Amino acid sequence: MGALSCRHVLSMSDLSVDDIDLVLETATPFKEVNERAIKKTPTLRGLTVVNFFLEASTRTRTSFEIAAKRLSADAINFGGSASATAKGESLVDTAQTLDAMNCDLVVIRHRYAGSPFILTQNMRAHVINGGDGKHQHPTQALLDLYTIRERFGAVKGLRVGVVGDIAHSRVCGSLVWGLTALGAQVVLVAPPTLLPACPKLLACPATPGEPETAPVTVSSRLDDVLPELDVVYMLRIQMERIEQAPFPSLREYAQLFGINRRRLAAMKPEAIIMHPGPVNRGVELTSDAVDTARNLLLYQVNAGVAVRMALMYLLLGGEDDGFAS
């Protein structure tokens, strides 16, 4: 078993392609653990994992909590909606407080970009970014890559459409980097009002000396690109994170950028739908599209626990194995 090249995972750029491969490979045996009757390994016994969530989250927090507990770590949830910062304590002070309690790993979710870095400067624990503002959500990207690789065998050469709110999506920030790092072609599909200023910069830059990674392209016409796609990745429309309505109505958005029965029929037979959840039914996906077997959302959720177990294991455990016994 190898080791990661990084101490913290704040951004997909912290992970080399070898690191990504290692995480995904390590996740597979954990996925098997999760299918057992007794879903627990002693791997991280005695270690403390803090889920430091300063922004409302149920799915991601639960997934991390389950992952930590199945590795026998002591998993603590800290924060919730009533944050320490709401009491006037700075993130620096909260981090130092947690550090004084000798945590081994902290998963942070916060509405402000770059906040995980502040933790790394103020505590000794490993830090995993569980989503920072509109910046990064690397474990989501890893579980997405796992799901895609499980389905297609490899990521390289696939055509992946990422559809929706590119501008405000931390999922997209991580996913596009990961996909391009592993050699997929990515097309971003969105109205211009939901694109960041330089969408092509979301890609992993080519390593000097290596062949150039496939460029990221941009389109505002889902119907034009849909028949070519192997993966249709639908981003959630996050009403809470959009200041001014970037489209006239959900109805028009769904007409232009939603997957419905007609668009399902236009997809390649083997193409899959993915979504980071939770779905706004009738917006990104009609119920037909949610309930079809090509929608892998629940596989993603399932892989999420294993991928997060793998990441925690690699950051905290490394060599002294024992989980797969």
Partner 1 sequence: MALLLKSARCIDPSVGLDRVTDLLIRDGRIVEVAEGIQLNKGVEIDCTGLIAVPGLVDLHVHLREPGQEHKEDIASAGRAAAKGGFTAMCAMPNTVPTTDTGSRVKAVLARASEVTRTRVHVAGALTAGLKGEALSEMGDMRAHGAVAFTDDGRGVQDSGMMRRAMDYAKQFGLPVLAHCQDESLSGEGVVNEGAVSTRLGLAGYPACAEELHIARDIALCELTGCALHVQHVSSARGVALVRAAKDAGLPVTCEVTPHHLFLCEDDIDDTYPTSLKMSPPLRTREDRDALQKALLDGAIDCVATDHAPHAPHEKALEFELAPNGTTGLETALGLVYTALVATGRAELALLVERMAHAPRRILGLDPVSLAVGSVADLTVIDPALHWTVEASDFESKARNSAFVGRQLVGRARHVLVDGYATLENGKAVPC
Site for partner 1, rule CB under 8 A? 10-11, 13, 90-92, 110, 112-115, 117-118, 132-136, 170, 173, 196-199, 201-202, 243-244
In this structure, how many other beta carbons lie within 10 angstroms of the beta carbon of residue 112? 15
Min. distance of Cβ 13 from partner 1 in angstroms?
Answer: 7
Determine if residue 153 is left, alpha or beta; phi over 0 gives left, psi from -120 to 50 gives alpha, anything else beta: left
Nearer to partner 1, 244 or 325 (CB): 244
Nearer to partner 1, 276 or 317 (CB): 276
Query: Is the CB of residue 27 less than 8 Å from the CB of residue 1?
Result: no
Nearer to partner 1, 51 or 115 (CB): 115
Min. distance of Cβ 198 from partner 1 in angstroms?
Answer: 4
Min. distance of Cβ 134 from partner 1 in angstroms?
Answer: 4
Nearer to partner 1, 135 or 159 (CB): 135
Min. distance of Cβ 228 from partner 1 in angstroms?
Answer: 25
Half-sphere exposure of 60 (CA within 13 A, CB side): 27
Nearer to partner 1, 85 or 280 (CB): 85
Min. distance of Cβ 211 from partner 1 in angstroms?
Answer: 23
Min. distance of Cβ 168 from partner 1 in angstroms?
Answer: 9
Burial of 304 (0-12, 13-18, 19+ CB in 10 A): buried
Min. distance of Cβ 183 from partner 1 in angstroms?
Answer: 22
Alpha-carbon torsion 15, 19, 23, 25, what sign? positive
Nearer to partner 1, 9 or 73 (CB): 9
- Given strand 48-53, what is the order of strands in its sheet? 74-79, 48-53, 105-110, 126-132
In whole angstroms, give the CA distance from residue 127 to residue 312: 10
Nearer to partner 1, 111 or 151 (CB): 111
Q: In the numeric block, which tokens belong to residue 31?
A: 């996925």
In whole angstroms, give the CA distance from residue 23 to residue 1: 11
